Amino acid sequence: MIGAHSLSIHGQTLSLLPQRALYWHEEKTLIVADVHIGKSQTFQRAGIAVPGQVLQEDLNRLTQLVSSASADRLLILGDFVHHRSGLTKRVCEEVEQWCENLNAEIMVIVGNHDRPNRRFLSSLPLVLQEHGWDCGPFGFYHDEADKPSKSDQFLFFGHTHPVIFKNGLRLPVFAFYRTHCIMPAFSIFTGGSPLERRGLVQAFIPLEDEAVAVLTSLPPDN
């Protein structure tokens, strides 16, 4: 995996990929968060001209990642879809076809954006996890608020889209804390909230098409 940065947590090997995804080698699982399918279509429906290629490209990137990693499973940490107004017939058909053609099991943890769209999601060939998913030493949840009160697992969350701002650029990050990691949003058309600095152990910047950069010092907090 070109440009990946590998880590070992609880004896498991994880690769952070420059494409804002995480690969768990032992389970052959590719993990992404916050795909927000149909977001640009939601905007278009509201009379806001956002280019629609975002959807196609996000899906293509997922297909490529799954196949280049030969993953058996694609795990989406919530917010697979954005809003029902963007789930037009055309978009739904495209997503359905993509699910059918993907060469891996798809598991979606239900995020706040997914909840109102359960009917559509359950019509797709994928596994829905209502609250989260525990697997071995790891737990996967959408929102940090959904985590079990007591857990000695290392946890992974999505939801907040952590970013840092540097030289006018918005850079999504993998944010690692002592007990958990917050994943960057997968979709290109997602904003983000500033990285929570309290308790931060290490942050990694996925630089698309290049590599994962280890953040050695945080830029000043304005």
Q: Which stretch binds another protein (CB under 8 A): 7-15, 100-108, 137-145, 193-201?
A: 193-201
By C-beta, is 86 or 132 nearer to another protein?
Answer: 86
User: Is residue 63 involved in binding another protein (CB under 8 A)?
Assistant: no
Least distance from another protein to the Cβ atom of residue 79, Å: 11
The string of DSSP letters for 136-171 reads TTEEE-SSGGGS-SS--SEEEE-SS-EEEEETTEEE
Least distance from another protein to the Cβ atom of residue 216, Å: 16
Least distance from another protein to the Cβ atom of residue 51, Å: 4
- The only residue of 115, 127, 193, 214 in contact with another protein, by rule CB under 8 A: 193
168 Cβ neighbours under 8 A, 6+ residues apart = none
Q: Is 86 strand, coil or helix?
A: helix
| x-or-dash string of contact with another protein, 156-175, rule CB under 8 A | -----------xx-x-----
Helical H segments across 18-140, by residue range: 39-45, 53-69, 89-101, 118-122
163 Cβ neighbours under 8 A, 6+ residues apart = 170, 171, 172, 173, 184, 191, 192, 193, 194, 195
Q: Which stretch binds another protein (CB under 8 A): 52-60, 68-76, 97-105, 144-152?
A: 52-60
> Distance between CA 140 and CA 150 in Å, rounded?
14
Q: Which stretch binds another protein (CB under 8 A): 33-41, 59-67, 69-77, 150-158?
A: 33-41
- The only residue of 12, 63, 68, 88 in contact with another protein, by rule CB under 8 A: 88
User: Is residue 115 involved in binding another protein (CB under 8 A)?
Assistant: no
CA-based nearest residue to 31, from 133, 193, 151, 183:
183
Query: At 63, which amino acid appears?
Result: T
| 158 neighbors 33 (Cβ within 8 angstroms) | yes
Query: How far separated are the first and last CA of the chain, in Å rounded?
Result: 35
Q: Which stretch binds another protein (CB under 8 A): 10-18, 84-92, 98-106, 131-139?
A: 84-92
CA-based nearest residue to 184, from 1, 21, 27:
21
User: Is residue 209 involved in binding another protein (CB under 8 A)?
Assistant: no
Please give the size of the binding site for another protein, defined by CB under 8 A. 35
Q: Enumerate binding residues for another protein (CB under 8 A).
A: 39-54, 82-83, 85-86, 88, 90-91, 167-168, 170, 188-191, 193-194, 198, 221-222
